[in-house]
Structure 1
Amino acid sequence: MQLTQALTRAVQTRHGHLATIYNGRQRTWREVGERVPRLAAGLRGLGLKPGERLAVLALNSDNYIELLFAAAWANLVLVPLNTRWAVPENVYSLRDAGCAGLLVDDAFAAQVPDLLAGHAMQHVVHMGDAPTPAGLHAYEALIAQSAPMADECGRFDDLYGIFYTGGTTGHPKGVMLSHTNFIVSSINWIATLHFSDQTVYMHSAGLFHLAGTSPAVALTLAGGTHVCLPKFDAVLAFEAIQTHRVNYVLFVPTMVNMLLNHPDFSRYDLSSVRYCEYGASPMPDAVLAAAIEKLPTWEFIQGYGMTETAALTVSLPWRFHFDGDHGPAKRAAAGRAAFGVDVKIVDPEGRELPRGTVGEIAVRGAQVMLGYWNKPEATAAAIRNGWMHTGDGAWMDEDGFIYIVDRVKDMIISGGENIYSKEVENAVHAHPAVRECAVIGVPDEKWGEAVLAIVVLKDGQQATAQAIIDHCHTLIANYKCPRKVEFRDALPLSGAGKILKNVLREPYWQGRTRAVH
């Protein structure tokens, strides 16, 4: 298995059909198939060597889709940087991965000096549509000036990409994903989520994220059409669906809610959409009911997964969203195991628990990551006896459906984005007035969960909630920053001196059937 097989098949079977649509620009699979080997040759011509890490910091575009395959074609390891992270977070990723090259678009070209401060890197490529800034190589020039090279793609368990996620230690972790991880995940998308060569898919999730990259590879393998939005925006989504007759979308529940409540919702024809895959957090019943009523042509499929499992692991088909033979309870499930994936609920020692008993979700299969980049101890803690321990608390019913009830790991999901409490706590603690801090997730009707920082100030020090929030914005991504700050005289501690977050969380989640939202 190798990632470029997806592209070569699309070129072979769909050469005259539309491959990408972006900002008024359209390319066929034949054109993409001609450009990718030239881009790969151009990247290698800059001096990049097989196995070296190549970072990209850019919004979604047709060029980004090409890069996913050109990096593999040149046998480079792709490192997508998070477009929502603050500069210091992406600087850490660049240095941790030892990146030898970087591509940026118009939105991030101005960040290059800060990203590369103290980092010896000569190979920076501008992949935007504006004029190329001085000192950067031009993306289109690399393609135009380079003869196509032979496919030198790695295969099987060779490393394809390093995808950075938040970390419980306060530093991002680089998830190492192989060619097999992506191809198996792609086949699962086709089998489970109904991708085909007739699929016109709208990319609204960032391509730096597995919710963006995984369907991008799968759709290419299927030979469908990529409609690229730079990033999620309700009006852009409405216009793209109506104009290009998009028939497949992926949204987190927060996005669905934004669409339904947008003042221009009724102005657009959204009836071309057949499937909507949603995930990253549970869909509130009220939002799902409104979506089913207002979007009658859409079939909703829930997906559950994580970066460490190359995205899709569990899915809930459309028919289980309704009362029927199995009753209404299935709608509350995350779903059941995807094809070729083993899923079980285990106790802290890894022993499988009886059906109906709450434990931790563990996953095994060809989609499980190679490990964390340069973090063997974290890898060993996550993958035990071949099973990836997800950190999500859940139970399984007699039919194999999984119901998530809590999180074992200290993580918050807000607007579909994973936020590790430790990262936020590190930022809050860096404020000179803060003595102690605990960060928890609390229910929020718009975002699912909101970040709450509970702070104890140093004796004699003063700070406002807004001052602490503003301070955090200089260190971490905006979506990670606390939305609220509460001040306390002291935090509850265990006998061993550990902050009791369960005690802090309890009042906010009281009366709910699950401690996640």
Structure 2
Amino acid sequence: MMQLTQALHRAVQTRHRYPATIYNGRQRSWREIGDRVPRLAAGLRGLGLQPGDRLAVLALNSDNYIELFFAAAWANLVLVPLNTRWAIPENVYSLTDAQCAGLLVDDAFAAQVPDLLASHAMAQVVYMGEGPTPAGMQGYEALIERSSPMPDECGQGDDLCGIYYTGGTTGHPKGVMLSHTNFCAASVNWIATLHFSDQTVYMHSAGLFHLAGASPAFALTLAGGTHVCLPKFDALLAFEAIQTHRINYVLFVPTMINMMLNHPDFDRYDLTSVRYCEYGASPMPDAVLAAAIEKLPSWEFIQGYGMTETAALTVSLPWRFHFDGEHGKARRAAAGRASYGVDLKIVDPEGRELPRGTPGEIAVRGAQVMLGYWNKPEATAAAIRNGWMHTGDGAWMDEDGFVYIVDRVKDMIISGGENIYSREVENAVHAHPSVRECAVIGVPDERWGEAVLAVVTLKDGKAATAEDIIAHCHRLIANYKCPRQVEFRDALPLSGAGKIMKNVLREPYWKDRKRSVN
């Protein structure tokens, strides 16, 4: 039997005197978290929420968010974390698609509530911020104070635990359904692969709405370590937190590391407490990694690769393989090898395993693979075939099991560690009244890894500038998804079947590179 709340029970039992969460000058012990979570669960159920109901949260990272993960599971509710970087229409889609019965917001998003609920009314909205509770909302702390603790009614095994929305190739987000088994297996994998322990003081800088934030939160709770929460990534906040709290474990996307290394105040802070730094979501440019190794000699860097559909971590590259030496040649170009409890192979379009060194698609099997996509049986059947999750990432595997990512089967861009599906951006661009045709591709970018480029043809007699189209997109989709560049053409290259040939559009930008992703 696997239940998400097992992690909390163990942490309270073995680490009750020790710090559980640190946020905004506030520290709570595991004993305090163990008291608050059953009360919060009872408060949520007291609002009329029933087992299996979907409960959305739109908030920046905080100690309350960590509690909510476990309170929702304790009450047998399905948590739906909303993306803090998405535009309102994108999160409205998720709320409506999941038919959420309740919503929690903090200070950063309380003002969005009327727009979020305009097309999807909900009986209960809970304010989990730091200020006075807005009119018409329930107060988070008041719920805890007035509620008696309820018994743990957590689901188990393959029961649905969370729905995490990710971009979609069809232009709409897809809700990834993750179970208690998914999260528990991922936590054990994380501890075994990435060295979490009860001595870990971990800094949350990745958003908790994302599996890069949530998965380590679950694993760290199981280990009984300490969560230090930053509202969101900021280089200066990260420096201050590391120095003040003697943080020994961090997770960053390469863009964040580059921002820190180039920050004017980098040398003013003592960052030597950090032992491990996991990096992932996009490959680390070797120049950035070399600079990080030089400037942060006490840090050990570990690369991680995964996806929402596999509850995050599936492949990792340990520190020792970053160098030539007793372990062989440096494997910095590799994403790593399959982590514990994960079956991985490189397959052809029919799902047959390919010989070592032959490029194909990464397929993954194991207890971490999602239940499927919420209300999308066809998409689920296309992704999970014969028990194997087909990732959409093109790669090859060497004779020692190291995986090298070379391309994406899916039409996806990764910019600053965020997945951007071209179709979502194309839908936004096409909505501009002057646009006739559009193709969106990723092009190399030194800061973000890849940048979004929209190649556009205009309708006869219509005019638009790049600035017009970019501003139009900002009203419809998240800022990070919007094109950074717009290129106008008289016509787009078409195949014999009439499809836009994106490989032709990409080729001038990638022709001198070893791989067609960055």
TM-score tier by shorter-chain length is: over 0.9
Q: Deviations over 1:420-447 (max 9, x none)?
A: 0000000000000000000000000000
Measure how far apart 1:386 and its partner are.
0.3
Counting only pairs closer than 5 Å after superposition, residues 84-483 of structure 1 correspond to structure 2 as 84-325=85-326, 327-483=328-484
Measure how far apart 1:330 and its partner are.
1.2
Q: Deviations over 1:280-339 (max 9, x none)?
A: 000000000000000010000000000000000000000000012454451110000000
Q: Which residue of 2 aligns with 1:15?
A: 16
Aligned counterparts of 1:500 and 1:364: Cα–Cα separation in 2 = 32
**What SS class does the counterpart of residue 273 from structure 1 fall into?**
coil
AA in 2 matched with 1:435: R
Measure how far apart 1:118 and its partner are.
2.6
Aligned counterparts of 2:379 and 2:131: Cα–Cα separation in 1 = 41
Q: Deviations over 1:360-405 (max 9, x none)?
A: 0000000000000000000000000000000000000000000000
AA in 2 matched with 1:30: R
Aligned counterparts of 2:342 and 2:269: Cα–Cα separation in 1 = 39
Q: TM-score, normalised by structure 1?
A: 1.00
Matched, 1:516 2:517: yes
Q: Which residue of 1 aligns with 2:57?
A: 56
Measure how far apart 1:120 and its partner are.
2.2
**C-alpha contact (below 8 Å) 2:279/2:303 kept by paired residues:** yes
Aligned counterparts of 2:17 and 2:122: Cα–Cα separation in 1 = 39
**What SS class does the counterpart of residue 500 from structure 2 fall into?**
coil
Measure how far apart 1:122 and its partner are.
1.1
**C-alpha contact (below 8 Å) 2:176/2:372 kept by paired residues:** yes
AA in 1 matched with 2:212: A
Are residues 330 and 510 of structure 1, via their aligned partners in 2, closer, same or farther at CA, if it must alter by over 3 Å? same
Identical aligned pairs, as a percentage? 87
Aligned counterparts of 2:426 and 2:293: Cα–Cα separation in 1 = 39
Measure how far apart 1:509 and its partner are.
0.3
AA in 1 matched with 2:191: I
Q: Which residue of 2 aligns with 1:485?
A: 486
AA in 1 matched with 2:108: A
Which stretches of structure 1, 4 residues or more, deviate above 6 A after TM superposition? none
AA in 2 matched with 1:283: M
**C-alpha contact (below 8 Å) 2:92/2:120 kept by paired residues:** no
AA in 2 matched with 1:474: R
AA in 1 matched with 2:265: D
Measure how far apart 1:137 and its partner are.
0.1
Matched, 1:2 2:7: no
**What SS class does the counterpart of residue 331 from structure 1 fall into?**
coil
> Structure 2 unaligned runs (5+)?
none
AA in 2 matched with 1:267: R
Give the count of matched residue pairs.
517
AA in 1 matched with 2:217: A
Matched, 1:39 2:22: no
Aligned counterparts of 2:86 and 2:512: Cα–Cα separation in 1 = 34
Aligned counterparts of 2:62 and 2:51: Cα–Cα separation in 1 = 25
Aligned counterparts of 1:348 and 1:2: Cα–Cα separation in 2 = 36
AA in 1 matched with 2:297: P
Aligned counterparts of 1:427 and 1:372: Cα–Cα separation in 2 = 23
**C-alpha contact (below 8 Å) 2:432/2:469 kept by paired residues:** yes
**C-alpha contact (below 8 Å) 2:320/2:327 kept by paired residues:** no
AA in 2 matched with 1:241: I
Aligned counterparts of 1:244 and 1:329: Cα–Cα separation in 2 = 33
Aligned counterparts of 1:86 and 1:508: Cα–Cα separation in 2 = 29
AA in 2 matched with 1:424: V
Counting only pairs closer than 5 Å after superposition, residues 59-74 of structure 1 correspond to structure 2 as 59-74=60-75
Aligned counterparts of 2:357 and 2:491: Cα–Cα separation in 1 = 38
